[in-house]
Amino acid sequence: MKKNIQAFTLMEIMFGILIFSVIATFYINFVQTGKRELHFTSEHFNALLVSQKLSEDISQEIQTNPYGFETLGIESSTISNFGIVDGNSIFFSFLHDTKAPWFNIDPAIDGKIGSDIQPLYSQFRNTTFSLKGQKVSTGISRAEVSINWKNAIGKGNYDIACLFPSSSVLKQVDLELKYNQADMEKETAIVFYNETEKTLSQLVAEKGGNYDTIKKLGVVHGICKSYFNSSFFTQTMAEIKDLENKRKIAASNPNAELASICESLGRGFYEIAKSSFQLICALQPIMDEIKSNFNVSHFGSQLWYYKNRLQGVLLEYKQLHSNFNSALYWSKINCENLLQSDISRNIGTKRQYRHILRLIDINKIFAVHPDFPSGKAEFKAFAENIRKICDGRNPSMTRYLKQETSWIDNQSVLFNKYPTLGKVHELLVRLKSTDDFINSSL
């Protein structure tokens, strides 16, 4: 019996090889595409991490220092092709503390991504970045970050841009004095002339003097009286008195309660200083006129005979100045108390940082204050103490303090950088002259 043997024909074999080739081609393309996607995902993820780190560092720099772009060297310029590894950039030189002395990172010794830090070193070895900063409007700057890398399949790039507040601009404050003119004139007539029936204009016409000058001194009295009797001032001063008593009790036990008391005192005194200074800014132009016209011809012989009534108003204005100086000083003292080692551990690093920034601003005011000749030396001593603490820990604060110390000796540079501080200094000089006038008039 003859057996029927089946086998593939040549055509079938060739057709099978063709199908296998097509499938293999699709498979190989799939694997290669997957590898490319894997490389794309990995490298772009790394670029996202780098851009986030750079954005956070720039933000920290700007929050600390309004001239952070300038300090970093990216104000209206570009820094290009900085490496991530081996400490090639200040942004990647304070990453971790690996060697003694501890809590003090020295970029020459530790802090960088070195070849011993794997796999990070291999991941970022071929990655570089560029930074460019430019002003886009008053007080606003734009930072452009570009991340570039090379790998086995080619080159890649990732770009991002962020907006930040930039530099210090002159703060505009509404200094308009708001008061009821009729009530103000009535109060002036009572205080200056002890009259309730006649108007101020009638009294000036009868008794002599310059109506505008007398009315303006009455405005100073009315504004000062209104402020000293305001609920804000009386309540804040009562709270400060209560907090001072609590601080005396809590002083023997430096805990979170004492820290909270010092914070509240610093804030309360600062608000008194700020509100006093705002009134001084509004009233000083009036006082400049009164200072030039404080004589019998402008106030009339009868009112000049009762000069003590006028002097009382001058003392009210002087009290504003005294309140500003003393409140700013005690705000400084309470903020400094919060940095003492036995109290600072109760408030955390973020709150400490906020108080340090406030102290820098307060000390800058005292450094240009004509009533505090030691202010500049005290600022330098404070800045040096904080710099020593931040050195190797907080590079942005270290850079900021070095910058401020270099500017504090040159008022023209300082006031150009901080125009609001320049205006404060200008007003304080005028205020000192007014104080000298008041003292000589008593």
- Say whether pLDDT at 38 is over 50: no
Q: Give the closest residue to 376 by CA, choosing from 420, 352, 411.
A: 411
Q: What is the pLDDT of residue 204?
A: 93
Q: Give the closest residue to 268 by CA, choosing from 304, 246, 300, 240.
A: 240
Percentage of the chain exceeding pLDDT 70: 88
Q: What is the pLDDT of residue 215?
A: 94
At residue 236, the 3 state secondary structure works out as helix
Average pLDDT over residues 350-360: 91
Q: What is the pLDDT of residue 58?
A: 87
At residue 158, the 3 state secondary structure works out as strand
Residue 420 sits at the vertex; the CA angle it makes with 417 and 426, to the nearest 5 degrees, is 105
- Say whether pLDDT at 274 is over 80: yes
- Say whether pLDDT at 34 is over 50: no
Q: What is the pLDDT of residue 1?
A: 45
Residue carrying structure tokens 């057996």: 3
Confidence of residue 133 (pLDDT cuts 50, 70, 90): confident
Burial 249-262 (b: 16+ CB within 10 A, else e): ebeeebeeebbbbb
Peptide bond into 101 cis (omega under 30): yes
d(CA 332, CA 362): 7
Question: What mean pLDDT, rounded, does the chain reach?
Answer: 85
Task: Write out pLDDT tens, residues 39-62.
Answer: 456 777 888 888 888 888 888 888
Q: What is the pLDDT of residue 165?
A: 77
Phi, psi of 102 (to 5 degrees): -70, 155
d(CA 13, CA 43): 45
Side-by-side strand order, sheet with 127-137: 77-83, 127-137, 140-151, 154-165
- Say whether pLDDT at 370 is over 90: yes
Q: Give the closest residue to 271 by CA, choosing from 323, 316, 315, 318.
A: 323
Q: What is the pLDDT of residue 331?
A: 96
Q: What is the pLDDT of residue 158?
A: 86
Task: Write out pLDDT tens, residues 294-313.
Answer: 999 999 998 999 999 999 99
Sign for the CA dihedral angle at 20, 25, 28, 34 comes to: negative
Q: What is the pLDDT of residue 254?
A: 83
Confidence of residue 21 (pLDDT cuts 50, 70, 90): low
- Say whether pLDDT at 379 is over 80: yes
Higher pLDDT, 328 or 441: 328
* End-to-end Cα distance, the chain: 146
d(CA 417, CA 142): 19
Q: What is the pLDDT of residue 325?
A: 96
- Say whether pLDDT at 74 is over 60: yes
- Say whether pLDDT at 117 is over 90: no
Average pLDDT over residues 336-356: 87
Average pLDDT over residues 121-146: 85
Average pLDDT over residues 100-119: 80
- Say whether pLDDT at 30 is over 80: no
Confidence of residue 176 (pLDDT cuts 50, 70, 90): low
Task: Write out pLDDT tens, residues 385-436.
Answer: 999 988 888 889 999 999 999 999 999 999 999 999 999 999 999 999 999 9
Average pLDDT over residues 65-78: 82
Q: What is the pLDDT of residue 101?
A: 75
The answer to whether residues 299 and 213 touch, using CB atoms and an 8 Å cutoff, is: yes
Burial 280-319 (b: 16+ CB within 10 A, else e): bebbbebbeebbebbeeebbbeebbeeeebbeebbebbbe
Q: Give the closest residue to 379 by CA, choosing from 347, 345, 336, 412.
A: 336
Cβ-based neighbours of 357, under 8 Å, separated by 6 or more = 64
Task: Write out pLDDT tens, residues 314-324.
Answer: 999 999 999 99
